[in-house]
């Protein structure tokens, strides 16, 4: 049975007051997978102090020196294959996601360390503005202690959009994983932390009801980088306003896909579409959540998507045959069931597809089959709200303008996609979409580029993770200026 602790000042250490809490397997809710440290505000205090103490030393290193340590950490993450496979299996058991995805998350985290390290030279190069009026050098300094708060759905990939960037920039960190699925993330963070000086990477697990506000309101925390729900994002903004912390918020999404009249709907394209919607049982911020198709292609698309989604095998993610695991938790399953039920009551056709090899397991775990919904209105809940589950509503449109209008008619703006065989048309439509990321003839996190900034328009968030821009988010620009001819 896995047992995890906190990481404070380089020590793998128990929570001071609250011991541990149980983590269960969402495919088999009777099964306890392990025990995670149950931190509280005292642990947050110790972690922030450790990060604060380590900050000057870490900040004093050059970008190149930090890049070398990041590179070493990336290699260390996957260096011991037996240990890695144990972590991957544990991740699937506590989370529900299939082994292939657990593996992908682990390797992607390392790739994101390497990607951040690759920006060392660019970061070390100060922009020069020769006078008149003055000679000015634009430098960058780390912000200080950063709180990194991650959700349960893709914890390691998402950590990869914050941790290497924060470290590369010279900040020290306190990481707070979600209460669900803390075990494999804690073990993974421990492996990374071993490579860094003590106190640079600190970890506090436990419930946000005890450690959330103490962390986001702490006066020594200068920066919060949060990924999670929009409501929590609003709360963080309110609490952090007291000390005006710099915020990066990656929040919910309700991604639209626009399938134009001339889209190529061959099997690989349909595969990418289905994957975009049902990966991680639909619990993906950048999942395809609303599919708009030109009315002339509606029947063909519905038939194609249904055929591909029907090949899904729903069950325990440890089983290599299984392509879709359970929802991560009971509350999420309830949300999904209610949304599907409401659509059904309003007259939509709700079509559950895919096979279930073990019916008994299916009934006990938090499972829901891939579900295709037609005949739901643009304003029904399953279309207008984030489902965060395996539901895919398909709607039709009459022309490009209408499609763009419907896609943008949401408070969210995370990702989107355009499906067409005309490159110019694809770009024309993409440029009008209010979203931080637009795929052309694809959709979803499997295809995300580590070098590209990622984040949302509107209420999908503030700031960007990943890429060069993701590192800049952890830096304070600092202009240094003097009389012309003296500085430059």
Binding site for ligand NAP (CB under 6 A): 149-154, 158, 176-179, 207-208, 212-213, 215-216, 227-229, 232, 235-236, 250-253, 285, 386, 388, 414, 456, 461
Q: How far is the CB of 229 from ligand NAP (least distance, A)?
A: 3
SS3 of residue 425 by DSSP: helix
Concatenate the DSSP letters of all residues of 337-376 into one string.
Answer: HHHHHHHHHTT-EEEE-SB-S-HHHHHHTT----EEEES-
Q: How far is the CB of 248 from ligand NAP (least distance, A)?
A: 10
Annotation marks residue 250 as catalytic: yes
- Give the pairing type, strands 437-440 and 415-419: parallel
Concatenate the DSSP letters of all residues of 404-424 into one string.
Answer: HHHHH-SS--SEEEEE-S-HH
- Tell me if 67 sits within 8 A of 117, measured CB to CB: yes
Q: How far is the CB of 169 from ligand NAP (least distance, A)?
A: 19
Tell the burial category of 41 from Cβ atoms under 10 Å away from its Cβ (0-12, 13-18, 19+). middle
Annotation marks residue 285 as catalytic: yes
Nearer to ligand NAP, 276 or 456 (CB): 456
Nearer to ligand NAP, 312 or 459 (CB): 459
Q: Point out the catalytic residue in the list 250, 386, 400, 415.
A: 250
Q: How far is the CB of 82 from ligand NAP (least distance, A)?
A: 29
Q: What are phi and psi of 117, to 5 degrees?
A: -60, -30
- Tell me if 470 sits within 8 A of 464, measured CB to CB: yes
**Cα-Cα-Cα-Cα dihedral sign, residues 463, 465, 466, 470:** positive
Nearer to ligand NAP, 143 or 294 (CB): 143
Q: How far is the CB of 269 from ligand NAP (least distance, A)?
A: 25
Nearer to ligand NAP, 236 or 274 (CB): 236
Concatenate the DSSP letters of all residues of 62-120 into one string.
Answer: -HHHHHHHHHHHHHHHTS-HHHHHHHHHHHHHHH---HHHHHHHHHHHHHHHHHHHTTH
Specify the length of the chain in residues.
488
Nearer to ligand NAP, 177 or 453 (CB): 177
Contacts of 7 (CB under 8 A, 6+ apart): 13, 186, 189, 190, 193, 201, 202, 203
Nearer to ligand NAP, 76 or 235 (CB): 235
Residue 150 CA to residue 71 CA, distance in Å, equals 22
- Tell me if 44 sits within 8 A of 11, measured CB to CB: no
Tell the burial category of 208 from Cβ atoms under 10 Å away from its Cβ (0-12, 13-18, 19+). middle
End-to-end CA distance of the chain: 61
Q: How far is the CB of 102 from ligand NAP (least distance, A)?
A: 16
Q: How far is the CB of 367 from ligand NAP (least distance, A)?
A: 19
Q: Point out the catalytic residue in the list 285, 386, 400, 415.
A: 285
Helix-strand-coil split of the chain, %, nearest 5: 40, 25, 35
**Cα-Cα-Cα-Cα dihedral sign, residues 47, 49, 50, 55:** positive
Work out the angle between the directed axes of helices 81-95 and 99-117 (0-180°, nearest 10).
120
Contacts of 177 (CB under 8 A, 6+ apart): 150, 152, 155, 185, 186, 189, 203, 205
Tell the burial category of 196 from Cβ atoms under 10 Å away from its Cβ (0-12, 13-18, 19+). buried
Q: How far is the CB of 167 from ligand NAP (least distance, A)?
A: 19
Nearer to ligand NAP, 52 or 464 (CB): 464
Q: How far is the CB of 73 from ligand NAP (least distance, A)?
A: 22
Nearer to ligand NAP, 151 or 315 (CB): 151
Nearer to ligand NAP, 178 or 273 (CB): 178
Indicate which residues carry an active-site annotation.
250, 285
């Amino acid at each position: 049975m896995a047992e995890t602790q906190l990481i404070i000042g380089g020590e793998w250490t128990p929570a001071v007051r609250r011991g541990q809490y149980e983590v269960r397997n969402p495919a088999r809710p009777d099964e306890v997978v392990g025990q995670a440290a149950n931190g509280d505000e005292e642990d947050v205090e110790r972690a922030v102090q450790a990060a604060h103490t380590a900050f000057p030393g870490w900040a004093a290193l050059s970008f190149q020196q930090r890049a070398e340590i990041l590179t070493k950490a990336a290699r260390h993450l996957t260096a011991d294959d037996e240990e890695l496979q144990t972590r991957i299996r544990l991740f699937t058991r506590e989370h529900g996601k299939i082994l292939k995805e657990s593996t992908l998350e682990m390797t992607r985290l390392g790739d994101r360390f390497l990607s951040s390290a690759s920006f060392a030279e660019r970061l070390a190069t100060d922009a020069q503005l020769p006078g008149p009026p003055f000679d000015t050098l634009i430098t960058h300094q780390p912000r200080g202690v950063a709180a990194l708060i991650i959700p349960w759905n893709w914890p390691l990939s998402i950590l990869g959009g914050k941790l290497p960037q924060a470290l590369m920039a010279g900040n020290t960190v306190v990481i707070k994983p979600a209460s669900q699925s803390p075990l494999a993330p804690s073990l993974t963070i421990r492996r990374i932390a071993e490579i860094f000086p003590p106190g640079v990477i600190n970890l506090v697990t436990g419930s946000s009801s005890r450690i959330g506000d103490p962390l986001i309101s702490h006066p020594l925390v200068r920066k919060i980088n949060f990924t999670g729900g929009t409501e929590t994002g609003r709360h963080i903004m309110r609490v952090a306003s007291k000390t005006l912390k710099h915020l990066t918020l990656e929040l919910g999404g309700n991604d639209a896909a626009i399938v134009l009249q001339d889209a190529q709907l061959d099997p690989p394209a349909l595969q990418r579409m289905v994957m975009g919607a049902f990966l991680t049982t639909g619990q993906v911020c950048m999942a395809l959540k609303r599919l708009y198709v030109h009315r002339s292609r509606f029947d063909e698309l519905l038939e194609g998507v249904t055929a591909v989604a029907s090949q899904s095998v729903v069950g325990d993610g440890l089983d290599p045959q299984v392509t879709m695991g359970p929802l991560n938790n009971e509350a999420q399953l309830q949300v999904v069931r209610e949304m599907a039920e409401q659509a059904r009551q309003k007259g939509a056709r709700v079509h559950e597809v895919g096979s279930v090899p073990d019916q008994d397991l299916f009934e006990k775990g938090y499972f829901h089959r891939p579900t295709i919904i037609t005949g739901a209105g643009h304003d029904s809940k399953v279309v207008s709200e984030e489902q965060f589950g395996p539901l895919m509503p398909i709607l039709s449109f009459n022309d490009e303008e209408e499609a763009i209008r419907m896609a943008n008619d949401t408070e969210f703006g995370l990702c989107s996609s355009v499906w067409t065989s005309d490159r110019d048309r694809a770009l024309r439509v993409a440029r009008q979409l209010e979203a931080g990321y637009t795929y052309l003839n694809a959709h979803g996190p499997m295809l995300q580029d580590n070098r590209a900034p990622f984040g949302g328009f509107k209420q999908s968030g503030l700031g960007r993770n990943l890429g060069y821009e993701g590192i800049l988010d952890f830096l304070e620009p600092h202009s240094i200026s003097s009389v012309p001819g003296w500085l430059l």
